[in-house]
């Protein structure tokens, strides 16, 4: 805020108050996002988590920017929100970890995934990506050919071809034969 006094004539003095416009959200974001993310990174030790929290704090400021921009220090509000979010996430993580520790003690230990599952995952890994995705979506996610075609942005015939080729490759990998002696 700037105050300007003008010369007066007689008994009246005139004071003009000029207020600078509040900073734009983009200006504040560009000037302070990196610093806030670094502070949070020092707290968490996880850069992705720190960036996520900084983004969330700035998002919350953006949706309320009309009021926050008028604060004397809008960055202080954003920083406070970010630190509150950080502490909340830390507490949630600590609670979840405590819960998992209690659960692991109660669980029985398994020997790992069944050999059939390991073999299937390995066999799926040998398929081309489009064939593997079609087989998994169709047989494990119970999606129809039309749904897969829409999701992948291809024709239904293309999905049918991927499924056929994928199943044929899997059958060869497992050496599966039908009752007539042919490969299933």
Taking residue 53's Cβ as centre, other Cβ atoms within 10 Å add up to 25
- Per-residue pLDDT, 102: 82
pLDDT in tens, 39-55: 888 877 889 999 999 99
CATH number at residue 139: 1.10.10.10
Note whether residue 14 is domain-resident: no
Q: What is the mean pLDDT of residues 11-35?
A: 80
**3 falls within a domain:** no
- Cβ-contact 82, 40 below 8 angstroms: yes
Identify the pLDDT of residue 29. Answer: 97
The answer as to whether 93 is a domain residue is yes
Which of 106, 137, 156 is the last residue in one of the domains?
106
Model confidence, pTM: 0.47
Looking at the 3D structure of the chain, how many domains does it have?
2
Q: Is residue 4 part of a domain?
A: no
> What pLDDT is stored for residue 183 in this prediction?
47
Q: What is the pLDDT of residues 118-171, one digit of tens each?
A: 888 888 888 888 898 898 889 888 889 999 999 889 999 999 999 999 999 888
Give the pLDDT confidence score for residue 113 in this predicted structure. Answer: 77
Domain boundaries, position 65: 23-106
pLDDT band at 15 (very low <50, low <70, confident <90, very high): low
Please indicate, yes or no, whether residues 101 and 143 belong to a single structural domain of this protein: no
More confident residue, 182 or 52: 52
121 and 170 co-located in one domain: yes
* Average pLDDT of the segment spanning 1-7: 50
pLDDT score recorded for residue 123 = 85
Q: Confidence band (pLDDT; 50, 70, 90) for 184?
A: very low
**In a shared domain, residues 27 and 102:** yes
What mean pLDDT, rounded, does the chain reach?
83
Predicted local distance difference test score (pLDDT) of residue 93? 86
Q: Do residues 78 and 120 share a domain? A: no
In a domain, 30, yes or no: yes
């Amino acid at each position: 805020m700037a105050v300007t006094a003008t010369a007066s004539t007689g008994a009246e003095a005139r004071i003009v108050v000029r207020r600078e416009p509040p900073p734009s959200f983009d200006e504040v974001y560009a000037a302070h996002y990196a610093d806030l993310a670094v502070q949070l990174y020092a707290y968490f030790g996880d850069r992705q988590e720190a960036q996520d929290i900084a983004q969330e704090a700035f998002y919350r400021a953006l949706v309320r920017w009309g009021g926050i921009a008028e604060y004397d220090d809008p960055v202080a509000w954003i920083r406070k929100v970010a630190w509150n979010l950080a502490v909340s996430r830390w507490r949630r993580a600590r609670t979840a970890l405590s819960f998992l520790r209690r659960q692991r003690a109660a669980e029985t230990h398994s020997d790992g995934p069944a050999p059939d599952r390991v073999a299937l995952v390995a066999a799926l890994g040998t398929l081309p990506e489009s064939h593997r995705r079609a087989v998994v979506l169709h047989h494990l996610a119970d999606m129809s050919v039309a749904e897969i075609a829409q999701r992948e942005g291809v024709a239904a015939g293309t999905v049918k071809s991927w499924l056929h080729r994928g199943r044929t490759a899997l059958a060869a990998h497992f050496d599966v034969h039908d009752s007539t002696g042919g490969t299933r």
